[in-house]
Structure 1
Amino acid sequence: MDTCIICHKEVKAVSRTVLSEKGAEGIRNASKERNEALSCNTGDVVHKNCRRDFTDKRRILTAKRHFSGQQNTNQPELRSSSTFDYKSHCLFCSKGAKYNKLKRGYDVFAVRTIEFQKTILQICERRNDSWGDQVKGRINAVNDLHAADCIYHQTCNVSFRTMKNMPVLRSLNEPTPKKNCMLGRPAEENRLQAFQKTIQFLEENDDEQITISDLVRKMSEFCDEPFSAVYMKKKILEKYGDNIIITSINGKPDVVTLRYTARYILHNFFETSSNGVYRDKDAVIKAAANIIRSDIKAMETSKQAYPTATSVQSLSSNLGLPPLLNYISSSYRFYRKEGRP
């Protein structure tokens, strides 16, 4: 199935045009005049009407005037209304974002791998909504997001991946809006309510690598005066105690990971059993899986090296496995050795 590089829709045979070298050059020139980032090559397929409208001089002038009048507004910066710069605009929300390798903002990251691009395209298909279409259009406009120095907000990334709506973020040049804090309530009470909402966000997105800075930014969406990074870290530790780990992972400072201890998991398991709830073998396996998952999250790992097949099969190497997983593995080998099924 061929897809038009201009509108990103299916091209049927009756309206199909294959671009020659001259045709591709004409579309590239029109893209530059429109202040857009459309990429095309000889052999690409387009609709006849899309090509005609995209290269029409009068429509190009209209697009230029529209761009001049709208470039300072708060509307999403799409190809049809203004220039999208992969180096300074979020891939997901198209708002302005600032990335600095030495000192970045709260949650601005750069695309590092081609796997990220493939994953987001798959999520675009699953979402099948207007936001997914916008992101897909931006990705298809370039061959390699990493080569284009593309950046994104982690908040937007999490919302997009978890099938939520686009978060409301401010552009870098927009004035700071007033938060919807309830009038008449003490400021500290409002901050505590905002903190509880931030905690809820953390627990709902536990599988993501969320940092203390991400939580500070999230809290700023709920009140005018969020906690500082230092105080946020302190409050997180006070709330969860030993059930949370704050460490550096893959170069990210202060990554927050919930870790429910075996004692906590087993306490909930037996507490539910004592209340008369029937516990079958699936519930026991689920509790064991939660303990193993918790142990894995607490381990220090490295993505720089991958173990060989020999080391994976080695008993001494497996001693570094999570305790319960190591016990299950050892028990299985013992039963097989004894000739048990």
Structure 2
Amino acid sequence: MSDSPTPAQSAIRFGLIAGVIAYFIWGIFPIYFKLVGDVSATEIMAHRILWSLPFGALILTFRKQWPEVLRALMDKRVLAMLALAATTIAGNWYIYVLAVLEGRVLEASLGYYINPLMYVAAGVFIMGETLRKAQIVAVALAALGVITLTFGAGVFPVTSLILATSFTAYGYIRKTTNVGAMPGLFIEVCLLSPIALIYLIWLIQAGNAAFLTSGLSLDLLLIFAGPVTVIPLMCFALAARRLRLSTLGFLQYIGPTLQFALGLYFGEVFTFYHAICFGLIWIALAIFSFDARRASVLPRPALRTN
């Protein structure tokens, strides 16, 4: 009797590894954006998009996936879904970069802590799922945390909620779109690249670009925006197609935890009301995780044969 994993188990294991890599890189992302902190958020966005093209093309060539790209381009529905995904992730990127550059890493981390509970909301409102009691408690605690921060510190976490909502939407779109991880990501970047290229050319001609004017080290860092963008997104897409949304939500704790630690390291303000808000959300996530784990090990009812 062989103990080797089944194809399904191997796929899940591969998805878990890919997910951990993606969320770890995203967790330490603030370090990269601090290194290019003298560059505007919009210019950083343009470089992320444009330098993702050649790096993505190399991966597609190495993996011999160009035929899949062509098939996706010929499918109007897939192309429309990828256009929607591109718009969603571009908005997420911009808001996140802006938050880090403005010294709001803690607020960004809060958004990604809320994200797993957004997956629950997506399951309810999009897929018609019914919440279990523990899930209702978790969502209520998270909402209470946001309300406490809003009225206690006088700050409504708009950035946090936009980041959580947009990334949940992106994950759902990619999970339900019939295209591979890297081919889909490459098409998304291709759809965004004309706008990024036009903007960057205009910026250079106007003499307002940091690229090619601020030294070789900064130029190399901006070029490196391609790999640091593509690698975690490719890993996330690989994970999203192999794992359940609840599992993805659990893995996502890696990213905001690292971001939270970095926010404290960077000396951002952490008030009493921030502590209550984060504390309530951490309790909510603990309840959510325990409930998801318990639900996954409960015996399922036998199928009826009559």
Give the TM-score category using the shorter length: under 0.3
The structure whose RCO (Cα within 8 Å, separation 6+) is larger is 2
Higher normalized strand content (fraction of residues): 1
Which of the pair has more CA radius of gyration?
A: 1
Normalization by structure 1: what TM-score? 0.20
